[in-house]
Amino acid sequence: MALTIGEIATQIGAQAVGDISLQPVRPRQPDEAGADDLALAMESAFAAQLADSSVRMAVLSDGADWQALGLKAAILVARPRYAMAGISRLFDTRTAGAGIHPSASIDPTAELGPDVSVGPMAVIGARAKIGAGSNIQAQVFVGDDAVIGADALLMPGCRIGTGVRIGDRFIGQMNAVIGGDGFSFVTARPSAVEDYMAAGTISASMKPDRHERINSLGSVLLGDDVEVGASSVIDKGTVSDTRIGNGVKVDAQVMIGHNVQIDDTTLLCAQVGIAGSSQIGKRVVLGGQVGVADHVTIGDDAIALGMSGVTSRVPDRTVVIGYPAVKQETFIKMYKAMRRLPMMAEKLNMLHKRVTNPDDKS
Amino acid sequence: MALTIGEIATQIGAQAVGDISLQPVRPRQPDEAGADDLALAMESAFAAQLADSSVRMAVLSDGADWQALGLKAAILVARPRYAMAGISRLFDTRTAGAGIHPSASIDPTAELGPDVSVGPMAVIGARAKIGAGSNIQAQVFVGDDAVIGADALLMPGCRIGTGVRIGDRFIGQMNAVIGGDGFSFVTARPSAVEDYMAAGTISASMKPDRHERINSLGSVLLGDDVEVGASSVIDKGTVSDTRIGNGVKVDAQVMIGHNVQIDDTTLLCAQVGIAGSSQIGKRVVLGGQVGVADHVTIGDDAIALGMSGVTSRVPDRTVVIGYPAVKQETFIKMYKAMRRLPMMAEKLNMLHKRVTNPDDKS
Amino acid sequence: MALTIGEIATQIGAQAVGDISLQPVRPRQPDEAGADDLALAMESAFAAQLADSSVRMAVLSDGADWQALGLKAAILVARPRYAMAGISRLFDTRTAGAGIHPSASIDPTAELGPDVSVGPMAVIGARAKIGAGSNIQAQVFVGDDAVIGADALLMPGCRIGTGVRIGDRFIGQMNAVIGGDGFSFVTARPSAVEDYMAAGTISASMKPDRHERINSLGSVLLGDDVEVGASSVIDKGTVSDTRIGNGVKVDAQVMIGHNVQIDDTTLLCAQVGIAGSSQIGKRVVLGGQVGVADHVTIGDDAIALGMSGVTSRVPDRTVVIGYPAVKQETFIKMYKAMRRLPMMAEKLNMLHKRVTNPDDKS
C-alpha cells in the first residue's frame, strides 16, 4: 500500500490539505495511531486527542482546524461514514485468489469464467457456472447446476446449494448456507396446529404421529450486489424460488425461510428470522433478532427495531417495535403507561376505597 | 421424469381425470406454469388463473370443474398440502449419491453399509458405522464411533460428533452440527448467578475469576426419521445422552442444549433455543425463535407461538405465548388491556380529580 | 482409563472412603449405573436410588451415609458441580490429535509448534502460527496471518479468519466462525434510518438505493482460556480489533458484532446477539437469546436474564430482564400489575359509572 494522502483524498472524493505526498501505512483509531498511520478522527472528540500525539496524518470532518492539531497533512470529508467506506476499500487486506488449488474438487462439467480462483478443499458440482474474477475460497461448496455471477467472493465453508442462481459481486461469508431445504411438513389428518387454527383450541383426539416432508422443488434466486453473513441460511422455495433483490445485505446468523421475497436494497441485521412466504419491501431495515411471521408483508422504507416480532402487515415508511410489533408511537404510549402501572394500581385502590366507603377517611 | 398424470395420481392416492397419459415436465405455480407443466392450483384463487392460460394439466381440489378451466387433464386431491408432499417426492431433484469419492478420508476401521455414497472432502472417523443406502455428501464430517442408520442424507458440511447415534432415514442439512459439547461451567466459589439465585441479589464480594469446564461425557441419540436443518446445533449430554425421539423435525438455526429430551413427532421451527435438561413432549410445536429455559417440561400436543419465552411447565394441549409465556387467552386479555392502558390512565386521572376535588368542574 | 476411586478423589481434591482400590469404568447417572460404573449421586434424591441397585461405587455429597446405600466405595465432595468438572476431565473421551494428516493443506510459510496435530481436509494459511500441542481437527480453516496459542482445540469445521489472534487453551467448537466481516454499510445520502434517528420519522423523499460496504480492517483478539460454541460468529472490528478477554465462554449460535469489547470471565449463553461496539464487563452473564443493542455498556457481575433486550447502560451487579431490559424488581412490579390489568379495567369502569352516574345503582 503506497498511496499518498493526495491520492487517497482523490479516490474517496475528499479534499487533501498539507503535505499531500505523505504515505500513511494504514488507518487507525486516534488513540492507537502513530506517526506513520492515518488517524480516523472525524468525530471532534477524537480529533482533540491528536493535539498531544505523534500523529502526523488524519481524516477530519470538513472545517476542522488541522493545523491547530499539529498535523502535517489531513483529508477533510463531508460524510464521515461514507468516507470510511472508501478508505476501507483502499486499505482492504482481503486475501486475493491464487488460481485453482490442486486439492479442489471441480466437476469436469462445471464452467469457470476467466480469473476464477478456487481454494483448497473447495467442491464445485456438475454443470455449475462461476463468473469471471470470482474468488472461491477454501472448503467452499457449490452444488450441481448452481450459477454464480462475476466477481463473487465466497469465504471458507460457504455452501451454495444445487440450482441456486446468484447475480454479480456476491459476497458469501464463512459458513453461510444458500439453498437449504424449506421446513415444510404435513400430516395425513389434521394436526394440533390445524385444530388450533380452525377452532382456537386443541382437541383431545389422538393426533397424527407422522410428518410427511414437502421437498423443496424451487431454489434460491439472488440479485446483484447481495451479501450474506456468516452462518446465515436462506432456504429454497417449495415450488417457485425464494427471491432476494439487488443490493440486499444480510448480516450473520439470519434465517430466511422458503418462498420469502425480499426487494432491493433491504438490510437484515444479525439473527433476524423470516418465516415462509413473507414479502419484504425495498430499503427495509430489520434490526437484530427481529422475527417476521409467515405470509406477512412489510412495506418499502419500513423499519422494525431490534427484537420486534412482526405478525401483521407493516405499511411503507413505518417504524414498528415490540411483540406483537406495533407502531413505535403506540409502543411508547403503552410502555410509559406500563411503567406507571404500579402507581396507577395504588391510585385506583385508593379511589375505590373513597368511592365505595366515602365515610372511611383512613 | 416421465410419469403420466395417471401414474402421479395413483402414487399420491388421488383421482386422475381427462387425458391421463399426458406427462408433465415439472410442477409449477399457476402464474409460472406453461403447457408442459403441472400447475399446482389447489386453491380456488389460483385455479381461476388457469382459464386464460396455456396450462393443460393441473392439480385441483376435489370438486373443482377442471373442464371449465380449459384443462386437458387434472389430478383431484382432498388434502392439498398432503398431496404436495407426494408430488414433491415424485419430482424431487435431490442429488443422488455416486459412490465413494476418491478425495474422501474414510478411516479403515469405519464400516459402511451397502450402497453408501461418500462425497468429496468428506471425513469419516474410526469405528464409525453408516447404514445401507446412506448419502454422505461433500465435506461432511462423521466422528469416531458415530453410528448412523440406513438411508441417511447428510448434506454438505453437516457435522456428526464422536459417539453420536442416529436412527434410520436421518436428514442432516448443510452445516448442521449434531454433538457439540454442552455449555457447562462451574466456579470454585459461588458465582454472581449463584448469589442471585440464593438471595435474589448480587453481593459486592469479589467473584471467582475462572470457570472450570464440565466436559460432555454423554452423547446425542436421535431416533428414526429425524431431520435437522441448516446450521442447527444439538449438544451432547453431560453424563447421559441428549435424546431426540422418532419423527422429530428441526428447522434451521435451532439450538438444543445438553441433556434435553424431546419426544416423538415434535416440530421445532427456526431459531428455537432449548436450554439444558428441558423435556419436550410428543407432537409439540415450538414456533420460530421460541426460547425454552432450562429444566422446563412441555406437555404433549402443546404449542408455543413464535418468540415465546417458556420459563415454566406447559400442560398438554396448551397454547402459550409471550414472555414469560402464558396461556394464549391470558395473553390476549392482558394485551387488550395494555392497548387500552393509555386511555385507562386518562380516565383514572379524571376520576381522581372528580373524587378528590368534587367541586372542581373544570 | 484405569483410575482407582482413591486416585480420582485425590485428583479432584475430594475424600475417598471404602475400598478405594476399585476402578470404575465410567461415570453414569444413578438410574443408568451398574456394578462397574461410578454413579454420580450428589443429589440426595438420586442417592436414594442406589440402595436397591447393583451400584458399588458413587460420588456423594459430604456427609452422605455411603454404607447405608450398600456401596463398596464412595467419593465425598463438598461442591458437586465443581467435582463434576474434575471428574469429567478425568473421563473425557475427546479424540486426541494424531499428527499431520496427509490430506491437510498447510501453507509452507505457516509455523506449527511442537506436537501440533492437523486433521484431514484442514486448511492452514500463509504465515499462520499455531502454538505447541494444539489439536486442529478435520476440515478446520485457519486463515493467513492468524495466530493461535498453545494447546488449542479446534473442532471440525471451525473457521479462524485472516489475522485473528487467539491466546492459549482456546476451544473452538464445530463450525464456529471467528473473524467474519462486520456488518457495516453506508449510503451516499441519508437513509431511512438516519431520517428516523434525526427526526423520529421517515420522510417520503426517495431514499438511496445503494449501500457502500465498510470493510473490516481490524481483526479479532481473543485472550487465554476462551471457548466459542458451535456455529457462533465473532466479527472483525472496523478499524481496531473486536476484543474478548481471558476466560470468556461463549455458547453455541452466539453472534458478537464488530468492535465489541468483552472483559474477562464473562459467560454468553446460546443465541445471544451483541451489536456493534458494545462493551461488556467482567464476569457478566447474558442468558439465552439475550440481545444487546449497539454502543451499550454492561457493568461487571451484571446478569441479563434469558431473552432480555438490553438497550441502555446496565450498572455493575444488576440483574435485568425484559424488553427493553429493566431491573428485575421493576419488571416484576410491572408484570404483576399487568397480570391484574384486566381486573383493574373492570374496577375502573365500575368506579367511573359510580362517580359519573352516582344515582345509577345498577
Q: What is the mean pLDDT of each run of 10 residues along chain B (362 residues)?
A: 90 95 94 94 83 92 92 95 93 81 97 97 98 97 98 98 97 97 93 88 86 94 98 96 98 98 98 97 98 98 97 97 94 87 86 80 54
- Residue B97's pLDDT is what? 77
DSSP string covering B76-143: EESSHHHHHHHHHHHT--PPPP-SB-TT-EE-TT-EE-TT-EE-TT-EE-TT-EE-TT-EE-TT-EE-
Which residues, 6 or more positions from A113, have their beta carbon under 8 angstroms from its beta carbon?
A129, A130, A131, A132, A133, A134, A150
Hey, are the CB atoms on A85 and C186 less than 8 Å from each other? yes
**Three-state SS for A286?**
strand
Chain B hits for C29, CB-CB cut-off 8 Å, are 239-240
Which residues, 6 or more positions from C332, have their beta carbon under 8 angstroms from its beta carbon?
none
Summarize pLDDT for C159-181 with one digit per residue, the tens.
Answer: 999 999 999 999 999 999 999 99
Hey, are the CB atoms on B301 and A351 less than 8 Å from each other? no
- Name the residue in chain A with its Cα closest to that of B85: A214
Confidence class for position C336, pLDDT limits 50, 70, 90: confident
- Residue C171's pLDDT is what? 98
The C-alpha cell that represents C255 in the structure block:
453472534
Identify the H or E element spanning A251. Answer: none
Hey, are the CB atoms on A175 and B175 less than 8 Å from each other? yes
Q: Which residue of B88, B228, B244, B332 is the best one to mutate when testing the A interface, meaning the one whose CB has the most A CBs within 10 A? A: B88
Confidence check: pLDDT of A361 > 60? no
Which of C217, C253, C273 is nearest residue A27 as measured by Cβ atoms?
A: C217
- Buried b / exposed e over B31-55, threshold 16 CB at 10 Å, is eebeeebbbbbbeeebbebbeebeb
Which of C91, C247, C345 is nearest residue B337 as measured by Cβ atoms?
A: C345
Hey, are the CB atoms on A338 and B342 less than 8 Å from each other? no
Distance from the Cα of C192 to chain B's closest Cα (Å) equals: 27
Cα-trace Rg, chain B: 28
Q: Which residue of A26, A38, A139 is the best one to mutate when testing the C interface, meaning the one whose CB has the most C CBs within 10 A? A: A139
Identify the H or E element spanning A186. Answer: strand A185-186
Chain C hits for B157, CB-CB cut-off 8 Å, are 157, 175
Distance from the Cα of B105 to chain C's closest Cα (Å) equals: 7
Q: Can you tell me the ipTM of this complex? A: 0.95
- Beta bridge partners, B242, equal B220
- Name the residue in chain A with its Cα closest to that of C336: A342
Which of A81, A101, A303 is nearest residue C196 as measured by Cβ atoms?
A: A303
The C-alpha cell that represents A38 in the structure block:
492515518
d(CA A290, CA A254) in angstroms, rounded, equals 10
Phi-psi region for residue B224, left (φ > 0), alpha (ψ -120 to 50) or beta? beta
Alpha helices by DSSP H, chain B: 5-11, 44-49, 80-90, 192-199, 328-339, 341-356
A28 CB neighbour count, 10 Å cutoff = 22
Catalytic residue among C101, C211, C258, C352: C258
Summarize pLDDT for A194-208 with one digit per residue, the tens.
Answer: 888 888 888 888 888
Cα-trace Rg, chain A: 28
- Buried b / exposed e over C308-320, threshold 16 CB at 10 Å, is bbbbeebeebbbb
Identify the H or E element spanning A304. Answer: strand A303-304
d(CA A63, CA A56) in angstroms, rounded, equals 18
Q: Comparing C-alpha atoms, which of A131, A125, A137, A129 is closest to residue A96?
A: A137
Confidence check: pLDDT of C293 > 80? yes
**Three-state SS for A332?**
helix
Query: Peptide bond preceding A80: is omega within 30 degrees of 0, i.e. cis?
Result: no
- Residue A51's pLDDT is what? 84
Comparing C314 with B335, the larger pLDDT belongs to C314
- Name the residue in chain C with its Cα closest to that of B103: C103
Which of C269, C289, C303 is nearest residue B183 as measured by Cβ atoms?
A: C269
Report, as residue numbers or ranges, the catalytic residues of A.
258
Chain C hits for A157, CB-CB cut-off 8 Å, are 141, 157, 159, 175, 177
Confidence check: pLDDT of A360 > 70? no
φ, ψ (nearest 5 deg) of residue B25: -75, -45
d(CA B154, CA C92) in angstroms, rounded, equals 27
Hey, are the CB atoms on A209 and B265 less than 8 Å from each other? yes
Comparing A182 with C201, the larger pLDDT belongs to A182
- Name the residue in chain A with its Cα closest to that of C122: A121
- Name the residue in chain A with its Cα closest to that of C233: A230
DSSP string covering A268-285: E-TT-EE-TT-EE-TT-E
Confidence check: pLDDT of A168 > 70? yes
d(CA B223, CA B166) in angstroms, rounded, equals 6
**Three-state SS for B284?**
coil
d(CA B274, CA B277) in angstroms, rounded, equals 9
Chain C hits for B208, CB-CB cut-off 8 Å, are 265, 283
Pairing of strands A309-310, A291-292: parallel
Chain A hits for C109, CB-CB cut-off 8 Å, are none
Chain B hits for A275, CB-CB cut-off 8 Å, are 269-270, 288, 306
Which of B105, B177, B334 is nearest residue C103 as measured by Cβ atoms?
A: B105
Summarize pLDDT for A103-151 with one digit per residue, the tens.
Answer: 999 999 999 999 999 999 999 999 999 999 999 999 999 999 999 999 9
φ, ψ (nearest 5 deg) of residue A10: -60, -45
d(CA A60, CA A37) in angstroms, rounded, equals 14
Chain B hits for A337, CB-CB cut-off 8 Å, are 338, 341-342, 344-345
Give ∠ CA B96-B98-B102 in degrees, rounded to 5. 145
Hey, are the CB atoms on B230 and A180 less than 8 Å from each other? yes
Chain B hits for C101, CB-CB cut-off 8 Å, are 105
Which residues, 6 or more positions from C169, have their beta carbon under 8 angstroms from its beta carbon?
C149, C150, C151, C152, C224, C225
Task: State the DSSP code for B321.
Answer: E
d(CA C311, CA C293) in angstroms, rounded, equals 5
Hey, are the CB atoms on B269 and A275 less than 8 Å from each other? yes
d(CA B193, CA B313) in angstroms, rounded, equals 22
Confidence check: pLDDT of C59 > 90? yes
Hey, are the CB atoms on A175 and B82 less than 8 Å from each other? no
What is the mean predicted confidence (pLDDT) over A153-166? 98
Chain B hits for C285, CB-CB cut-off 8 Å, are 191-193
Identify the H or E element spanning A341. Answer: helix A341-356
Which of B207, B255, B337 is nearest residue C342 as measured by Cβ atoms?
A: B337
Hey, are the CB atoms on B355 and C355 less than 8 Å from each other? yes
Summarize pLDDT for A6-52 with one digit per residue, the tens.
Answer: 999 999 999 999 999 999 999 999 999 999 999 999 987 778 788 88
Which of B28, B120, B306 is nearest residue A239 as measured by Cβ atoms?
A: B28
Identify the H or E element spanning B211. Answer: none
Hey, are the CB atoms on A29 and C257 less than 8 Å from each other? no
Report, as residue numbers or ranges, the catalytic residues of B.
258
Comparing A360 with C235, the larger pLDDT belongs to C235
Distance from the Cα of A251 to chain C's closest Cα (Å) equals: 6
Pairing of strands C111-112, C129-130: parallel
d(CA A67, CA A37) in angstroms, rounded, equals 17
| C-contacting chains (≥3 CB pairs under 8 Å) | A, B
Distance from the Cα of A187 to chain C's closest Cα (Å) equals: 30
Which domains, from first to last, does chain A contain?
A: 5-90 (3.40.1390.10), 182-215 (no CATH)
Distance from the Cα of B94 to chain C's closest Cα (Å) equals: 24
Cell 448469589 belongs to: B195
- Residue C2's pLDDT is what? 82
What is the mean predicted confidence (pLDDT) over C349-353? 86
Hey, are the CB atoms on B93 and A217 less than 8 Å from each other? yes
Phi-psi region for residue C12, left (φ > 0), alpha (ψ -120 to 50) or beta? alpha
The C-alpha cell that represents A269 in the structure block:
441485521
Identify the H or E element spanning A193. Answer: helix A192-199
Cα-trace Rg, chain C: 28
| A-contacting chains (≥3 CB pairs under 8 Å) | B, C
| B-contacting chains (≥3 CB pairs under 8 Å) | A, C
Give ∠ CA C127-C130-C133 in degrees, rounded to 5. 155
Q: For residue B268, how far is the Cα from the chain centroid? A: 4
d(CA C146, CA B119) in angstroms, rounded, equals 29
Amino acid at A129: K
The C-alpha cell that represents B80 in the structure block:
392439498
* C181, C175 Cβ separation under 8 angstroms: no
Chain B hits for A352, CB-CB cut-off 8 Å, are none
* C274, C280 Cβ separation under 8 angstroms: yes
Hey, are the CB atoms on B180 and C27 less than 8 Å from each other? no
Average pLDDT, chain A: 93
- Residue B45's pLDDT is what? 79
Q: Which residue of B239, B259, B307 is the best one to mutate when testing the C interface, meaning the one whose CB has the most C CBs within 10 A? A: B239
Which of A123, A177, A334 is nearest residue B341 as measured by Cβ atoms?
A: A334
Confidence class for position C360, pLDDT limits 50, 70, 90: low
